[in-house]
């Protein structure tokens, strides 16, 4: 039985919207919140509940407003027609090769916007759903975010099809990008990153503040096509209320025509107020497009003629070293700041010692810097050699002084002091107390930073003395009291006994994740056997290769780590594991790799399910992989599986085994 919408409910809903609008202005526009998050969330939740119960309230309601619908994650929906990529060409010869395969030489050339793809579905002229490109097969629901972009109409004008899916590109004008970086504590590298980060916000209010722009350029599902060419479609788009790149578009009938357009746009590229990274050349006639069809991931009737990466020459002031959470030393080029393609570049990664040697660069050289794909700053080579000495990569960690090693077969250099290096400390401690490790509630990043800054936690062993030694001082810190200290102590005490595989994961052996930790526990059964395992014993475990075997052995051989582990074992008990030689289950022995975002399970939940079915879950695809289980936004692992002809499963394929 449908409930009747009464005056009381209408009034309550209107008051909620009024409150939310006031709070949104204070928070998003004035940067001065007037209520706490809990109060705001409760009001928002109530408004959404009313709109779900009485759909007529949803029109211009909280669910459609700019204000910020709070959600835990994006929903995912399949594209009715896949959103394919476009094949790239990089020079006139490649253009000519593509052109030679065409039967229709009436071409239409558009700008290739350096932005983020979207699709917007309209039913009877009303925007009903917006999606990201996602995996090409399915995209993330960004409907509310698209509603905040002025260039994307929520209602079409004129003579439009009953069902129409407009596809296009969201981007950010360079001036808006510069202004955003000036006013924001978070600095974006370029307009495309800013647009992508802004479009995929869980809070549409943030998207609205970022002042995004959009162009329409193609279509997906359409109930009735009334245009015969691509150029005519862009004209239709503009009549319906969309902006397009029609003013920059050109026609061409030959390779020479294409190259003339390319040279002209390149010459005036800086005058265009947004970033472009090439041209898109299309067969203009839609019937011919349909006849030519598509490859697995790109249409045959169009190509992207890419511009060369933007380059510049500047002085290499210094080479500094960053030490990451896993102890890897990354050299960074400190540059005389230079503007490349509208972005001020002052630093660029040098990746590793081998890259420095390959480039043969020294401090004081004038170097060539490019933004690869107009995005990532990288050093291409030396333009003018300076008088500086040859760079020597550090043999000792610049943070803790421990030895720097390079394992056989590896490129990166790494500080061996995994558990004691201050540069690795916060990250390692966060890892140590995380869910799949010791799972200690109340020790998040903020608390760990507070305690390490005061010298109360230097190594993992200090966690188990924290309350005993510093209880009164902790209670005097902001945000702490008797109850929170009691709960923290309870969580710490509850972690004094830990399963072997969780312990092996917690101590942060490089490259050893949950899966490998379980393999070690099943094989050896207790910590002492793992600590004294030989290289041969480790390498013979299915799933552990040369590099991992070296990492494990080096970790336990290091004197710093031995001392820290011995200290830690005074306060905890590592439980022995059952040595498992013969596994059972319908997927026993199957090597499975997970990639992408699953719909019904988290990656961890699916990993547990697969292992319960007897499978071995691996982190990377190899010729020995039996199955790749794919979710939304699958990337390089899916491509590698396709290249190796490895069976690809979805959640639907695994359901029969789960049941």
497 is catalytic: no
234 and 90: one domain? yes
Residue 412: inside a domain: no
Residue 579: the pLDDT is 64
What's the mean pLDDT in 424-433? 85
Question: In terms of Cα–Cα distance, which of 172, 178, 185, 153 is closest to 211?
Answer: 172
Helix axis angle for 482-494 and 466-475, nearest 10°, is 160
87 and 210: one domain? yes
Q: Which residues span the domain enclosing 330?
A: 310-384
- CA distances 273 to 339, 607, 619, Å, are 16, 47, 43
Pairwise pLDDT comparison (486 vs 57), residue with the higher score: 486
119 and 139: one domain? yes
Token digits of residue 629: 């289980």
Residue 409: inside a domain: no
End residue of a domain, out of 70, 95, 111: 70
Residue 191: the pLDDT is 83
Residue 37: the pLDDT is 42
End residue of a domain, out of 551, 575, 599: 575
Helix, strand or coil, per DSSP, at residue 406 = coil
Is a pLDDT exceeding 50 seen at residue 68?
Answer: no
Residue 29: the pLDDT is 36
CATH of the domain at 371: 2.40.50.140
Question: In terms of Cα–Cα distance, which of 259, 167, 268, 264 is closest to 220?
Answer: 167
517 and 532: one domain? yes
Residue 402: inside a domain: no
63 and 90: one domain? no
Residue 605: the pLDDT is 78
553 and 446: one domain? yes
H-helix segments, 88-190: 92-99, 143-146, 174-183
470 and 331: one domain? no
- pLDDT tens-digit map of 362-399: 999 988 887 654 456 888 788 788 888 889 999 999 98
Residue 392: inside a domain: no
Question: In terms of Cα–Cα distance, which of 548, 645, 655, 640 is closest to 610?
Answer: 655
252 and 357: one domain? no
What's the mean pLDDT in 310-319? 84
125 and 157: one domain? yes
CATH of the domain at 27: 1.10.287.610
Least confident of 112-126, 150-164, 304-318, 433-447: 304-318
Residue 617: the pLDDT is 82
Is a pLDDT exceeding 80 seen at residue 430?
Answer: yes
3-state secondary structure 553-571: HHHHHCHHHHHHHHHHCCC
Q: Name the strand (E) or helix (H) holding 345.
A: strand 343-349
Question: In terms of Cα–Cα distance, which of 87, 99, 157, 100 is closest to 127?
Answer: 157
CATH of the domain at 569: 1.10.150.20
Residue 581: inside a domain: no
**DSSP conformation letters of 192-259:** HHHHHHHHT-S-HHHHHHT--EEEEEEEEEESS---SBHHHHHHHHHHHT---SGGG-EEESSHHHHH
Residue 565: inside a domain: yes
CA dihedral (198, 201, 206, 212) positive or negative: positive
Residue 299: inside a domain: yes
What's the mean pLDDT in 447-473? 91
CATH of the domain at 653: 3.40.50.10190
What's the mean pLDDT in 8-14? 82
Instruction: Give the separation between CA 493 and CA 487, rounded to whole angstroms.
Output: 10
59 and 162: one domain? no
Token digits of residue 528: 């002492």
- Best mean pLDDT range from 16-20, 166-170, 621-625: 166-170
Residue 483: inside a domain: yes
What's the mean pLDDT in 408-420? 77
Instruction: Write down the residue that tokens 């608390």 correspond to.
Output: 447
Number of separate domains in the chain: 5
In the set 53, 59, 75, 112, the catalytic residue is 112
Least confident of 18-22, 54-58, 448-452, 506-510: 18-22
Q: pTM of this prediction?
A: 0.45
252 and 264: one domain? yes
Pairwise pLDDT comparison (121 vs 134), residue with the higher score: 121
End residue of a domain, out of 306, 338, 353: 306
What's the mean pLDDT in 638-653? 86
What's the mean pLDDT in 54-74? 57
53 and 164: one domain? no
Kindly report the average pLDDT of the chain as a whole number.
84
């Amino acid at each position: 039985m449908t409930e009747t919408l009464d005056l009381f409910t209408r009034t309550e809903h209107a008051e909620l919207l009024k409150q939310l609008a006031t709070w949104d202005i204070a928070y998003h526009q004035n940067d001065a919140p007037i209520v706490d998050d809990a109060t705001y969330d409760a009001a928002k939740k109530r408004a959404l509940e009313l709109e779900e119960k009485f759909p007529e309230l949803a029109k211009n309601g909280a669910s459609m407003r700019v204000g910020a619908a709070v959600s835990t994650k994006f929903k995912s929906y399949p594209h009715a027609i896949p959103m394919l990529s476009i094949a790239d060409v990089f020079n006139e010869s490649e253009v000519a090769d593509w052109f030679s395969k065409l039967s229709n030489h009436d071409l239409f050339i558009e700008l290739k916007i350096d932005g983020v793809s979207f699709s917007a579905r309209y039913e009877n002229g009303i925007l009903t759903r917006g999606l990201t490109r996602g995996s090409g097969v399915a995209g993330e629901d960004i409907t509310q975010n698209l509603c905040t972009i002025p260039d994307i109409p929520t209602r079409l004008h004129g003579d439009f099809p009953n069902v129409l899916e407009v596809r296009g590109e969201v981007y950010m004008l360079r001036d808006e990008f510069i202004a955003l970086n000036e006013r924001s504590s978070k600095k974006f590298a370029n307009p495309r990153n800013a647009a992508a980060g802004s479009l995929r916000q869980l809070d549409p209010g943030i998207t609205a503040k970022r002042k995004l722009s959009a162009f329409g350029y193609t279509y997906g599902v359409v109930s009735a096509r009334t245009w015969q060419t691509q150029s005519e479609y862009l004209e239709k788009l503009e009549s319906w209320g969309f902006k397009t790149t029609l003013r920059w578009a050109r026609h061409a009938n030959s390779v020479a025509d294409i190259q003339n357009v390319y040279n002209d746009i390149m010459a005036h590229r800086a005058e265009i107020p947004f970033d472009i990274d090439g041209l898109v050349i299309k067969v203009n006639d839609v019937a011919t497009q349909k006849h030519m069809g598509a490859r697995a991931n790109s249409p045959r009737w169009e190509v992207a003629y890419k511009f060369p990466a933007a380059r510049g020459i500047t002085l290499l002031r210094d080479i500094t070293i960053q030490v990451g959470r896993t102890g890897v030393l990354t050299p960074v080029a400190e540059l005389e700041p230079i503007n490349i393609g509208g972005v001020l570049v002052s630093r660029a990664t040098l990746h590793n010692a081998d890259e420095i040697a390959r480039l043969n660069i020294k401090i004081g050289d004038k170097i060539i810097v490019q933004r690869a794909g107009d995005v990532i700053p990288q050093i291409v080579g030396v333009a003018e050699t300076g008088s500086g000495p040859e760079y020597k990569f550090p043999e000792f960690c610049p943070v803790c002084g421990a030895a720097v090693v390079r394992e056989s077969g590896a490129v990166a250099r790494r500080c061996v002091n995994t558990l004691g290096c201050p540069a690795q400390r916060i990250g390692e401690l966060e890892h140590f107390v995380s869910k799949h490790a010791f799972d200690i509630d109340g020790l998040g990043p903020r608390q760990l930073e507070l305690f390490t800054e005061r010298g109360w936690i230097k190594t993992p062993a200090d966690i188990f003395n924290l309350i005993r030694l510093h209880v009164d001082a902790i209670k005097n810190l902001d945000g702490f009291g008797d109850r929170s200290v009691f709960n923290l102590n309870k969580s710490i005490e509850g972690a004094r006994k830990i399963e072997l595989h969780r312990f092996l994961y917690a101590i942060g052996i490089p490259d050893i994740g949950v899966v490998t930790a379980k393999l070690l526990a099943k094989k050896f059964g207790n910590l002492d056997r793992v600590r004294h395992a030989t290289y041969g014993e480790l390498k013979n475990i299915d799933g552990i290769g040369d590099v991992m075997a070296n990492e494990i052995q080096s970790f336990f051989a290091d004197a710093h780590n031995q001392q820290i582990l011995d200290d830690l074992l005074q306060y905890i008990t590592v439980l022995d594991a059952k040595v498992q030689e013969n596994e059972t289950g319908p997927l026993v022995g199957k090597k499975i790799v997970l990639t992408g975002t699953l719909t019904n399970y988290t990656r961890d939940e699916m990993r547990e399910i697969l292992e319960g079915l007897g499978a071995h879950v691996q982190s990377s695809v190899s010729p020995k992989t039996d199955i790749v289980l794919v979710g939304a936004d699958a990337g390089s692992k899916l491509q590698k599986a396709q290249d190796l002809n490895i069976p690809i499963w979805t959640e639907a394929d695994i359901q029969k085994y789960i049941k």
